[in-house]
Amino acid sequence: MRRRRKVKILATLGPASSDEAMIRKLFEAGADVFRINMSHASHELMRELVRRLRNVEKEVGRPIGILADLQGPKLRVGKFAEGKVDLVPGQIFTLDNNEALGDNTRVFLPHPEILEAVEAGHRLLIDDGKLALVAEASDGKSITCRVVSGTKISDKKGVSLPDTTLGVGALTEKDRRDLDAVLQEEVDWVALSFIQRPEDLAEVRKISRGRVALLSKIEKPQAVTRLAEIIELSDALMVARGDLGVEMPLEAVPGIQKQIIRACRRAGKPVVVATQMLESMITAPVPTRAEVSDVATAVFEGADAVMLSAESAAGDYPVEAVSTMARIAEEVERDPNYPGIIHAQRPEPNATGADAISLAARQIAETLNLSAIVTYTASGTTGLRAARERPLLPIIALSPVVETARKLSLVWGLHCVVTEDATDLDDMVDRACHIAYQEEFGNPGDRIIISAGVPLRTPGSTNMLRIAYIGSDGLTGI
């Protein structure tokens, strides 16, 4: 099943999309990778969703990526004697370590790490920013704040700290349990929530030992300031605009989105744009014009994937949301302005043989108007390099490793095919031509360009280019 677009679609599973038949409909509508939100999924449900996804994968004969999204530290205030209280801008309000029920002067904050880290002048945003406080004093046991804006606070509302770097890592005890469970299943990506610094990735790397790829969600200002370091240690990034828009000014988010996408493109790391992309389709069969423009902007920028959250997980129109997103992407990629925009951000290749080969493959393919670029990739590195070039032509990523093909299903422009490893160069060319024909990327007499590493089965050794014709029988390269 060939997609008619380069950008990928990441769909979240939930109550509206958990059964096998619906998962298949979402895949057929255009979903390439599926997200399991561990904030809501038990271990038992996660295992069942993975089983269903792998059943669909067998039915459709295409590699499907699975991403497990860890909850991360959820910071919340305690409870109030009356469930909620009214506040007045300018008044003093205290968050402390006293477990007594709160009133309109104070509330319990069950997070000693916050009490210890907040300093005078730091902002505390409650309930997605509906209540804004600024710390006036902190002694490690309580934080005396002044109400800046907002008038209400109620039980268990979330706390955001745009100015504070916490001394604890991004992995909670729940996350550790969830990660252990995820690593026992056929999951390809793990998303880490509320990353603040590159060190937050270290523990997950140590636990996972390369069994899954790591996607860092950028949703805190502290992560934006250390973006280059986080990109270097991550396998992919997500622009998580929901929390980012709470902790930073809303008007800054579009610029940060562009900054992250371009930084990831330079580094050759996949980047996903997420949150509220087709939000109105939770309850409506069509999106707003503004939402269509929002999705189009991410596609024009060259994001690897765009994500649906509640639209596919709990909405009334999950299949329509996926198919709408696919149609928007296809139309953008047909736009006459698209090639110029996408290529204006093309990064300079690194001074390596592998990067030079990938650049040459793209230039030759476009100059000669070949049918496709075919890459052999066991580890995924060659596929990532090919996608980094953002060629106008299709890229077929052939891998003998099913886990590699599944991970690469998140990457821009890659049509992933699991195939047996080539035995020699002739077999490599024959196999590439055969699959290009079989997957409807070329007809007899068409030409493709093949990039690979020689000797075969040597990870990261991309050093060969070969132009080949698809044979008259549509099967053999000549």
> Which residues form the catalytic set?
35, 76, 217, 275
Q: Which helix (H) or strand (E) holds 48?
A: helix 43-60
Q: How many CB atoms are closer than 10 A to CB 366?
A: 15
Rounded-to-integer distance, Cα 99 and Cα 113, Å: 16
Neighbouring residues of 453: CB distance < 8 A, sequence distance ≥ 6? 376, 382, 459, 460, 461, 462, 463, 464
Q: Angle 428-432-437 (CA atoms, 0-180°, nearest 5)?
A: 155
- State residue 221 phi and psi, 5-degree precision: -60, -30
Can you name the residues that pair with 160 across neighbouring β-strands? Answer: 125
Cis peptide bond upstream of 455, omega within 30: yes
Map 150-164 to HEC letters: CCEEECCCEEECCCC
Cβ distance 469 to 478 under 8 Å?
yes
Distances (CA, A) of 209 to 133, 168, 204, 265: 41, 22, 8, 25
CB burial of 96-121 (b: ≥16 within 10 Å; e: otherwise) equals beeeeebebebbbbebeebbebbeee
Can you name the residues that pair with 308 across neighbouring β-strands? Answer: 11
Rounded-to-integer distance, Cα 478 and Cα 472, Å: 9
Map 342-374 to HEC letters: HHHCCCCCCCCHHHHHHHHHHHHHHHCCCCEEE
Burial class (CB in 10 A: 0-12, 13-18, 19+), 15: exposed
Neighbouring residues of 217: CB distance < 8 A, sequence distance ≥ 6? 69, 72, 191, 192, 193, 194, 195, 237, 238, 240, 274
Rounded-to-integer distance, Cα 3 and Cα 465, Å: 25
